[in-house]
């Protein structure tokens, strides 16, 4: 089954609970196996900076769903958890992004894989590196370490917050 890395983010309280609920809803889907979770990181907002800090994590799933089917499922879970898309890069209860789908390069009107912003987002790359082997996933022929080193990030931009909540 394809391995898929998903980015999770929330900056509306209870942030950690929204991450947990998103992972639980994904795990409870019959066509999705939750394999691994990263730690949770406290991160500064990206884009629209006048909002609360985020909690971010990355999870690894296996699924027979194709990218469009998975996107539909992810958007449905976001909606069930109260996601409202009012402001681009605005506050959100939950955000679930498809980062990588195996080593597939895919583009449609609704979806681009790998996610086009990974290389600009330390809050995605740092938790992703907890789950992958070195040089396992490449962006434009370069590994995640390469892109992370290109970013000049402040110490307080991405901080370890906690382990991922228990899902048992």
Sign of the CA dihedral with 77 first, then 79, 83, and 85 last: positive
Question: What is the C-alpha to C-alpha distance for residues 133 and 112, in angstroms, rounded to an integer?
Answer: 23
- Per-residue pLDDT at 82: 87
Q: How far is CA 85 from CA 39, 75, 89, 95, 153, in A?
A: 26, 11, 9, 10, 27
Question: What is the C-alpha to C-alpha distance for residues 97 and 124, in angstroms, rounded to an integer?
Answer: 10
- Per-residue pLDDT at 47: 67
Strand partners, 57: 8
The pLDDT tens digits for 78-104 are: 999 987 766 666 688 999 999 999 999
The pLDDT tens digits for 47-63 are: 656 789 999 999 999 99
Under-70 pLDDT residues of the chain: 47-49, 85-90, 134
Residue appearing with tokens 């370890």: 160
CA 131 vs. chain centroid, Å, equals 12
Domain boundaries, the chain: 3-162
CA 32 vs. chain centroid, Å, equals 16
Active site residues: 83, 92, 95, 97
- Per-residue pLDDT at 89: 63
The yes/no answer on whether domain 3-162 falls in CATH 3.10.580.10 is: no
């Amino acid at each position: 089954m394809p391995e898929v890395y998903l980015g999770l983010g929330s900056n509306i309280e209870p942030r950690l609970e929204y991450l947990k609920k998103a992972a639980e809803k994904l795990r409870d889907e019959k066509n999705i196996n939750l394999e691994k979770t990263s730690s949770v990181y406290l991160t500064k907002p990206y884009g629209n900076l006048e909002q609360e800090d985020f909690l971010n994590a990355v999870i690894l799933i296996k699924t027979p769903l194709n990218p469009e089917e998975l996107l539909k499922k992810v958007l449905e879970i976001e909606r069930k958890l109260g996601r409202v898309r009012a402001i681009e890069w605005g506050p959100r209860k939950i955000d679930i992004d498809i980062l990588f789908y195996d080593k597939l390069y895919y583009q449609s009107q609704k979806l681009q894989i790998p996610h086009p912003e990974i290389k600009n987002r330390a809050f995605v790359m740092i938790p992703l590196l907890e789950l992958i082997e070195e040089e396992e996933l490449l962006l434009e022929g370069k590994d995640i370490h390469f892109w992370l080193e290109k970013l000049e990030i402040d110490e307080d931009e991405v901080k370890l917050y906690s382990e991922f909540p228990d899902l048992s």
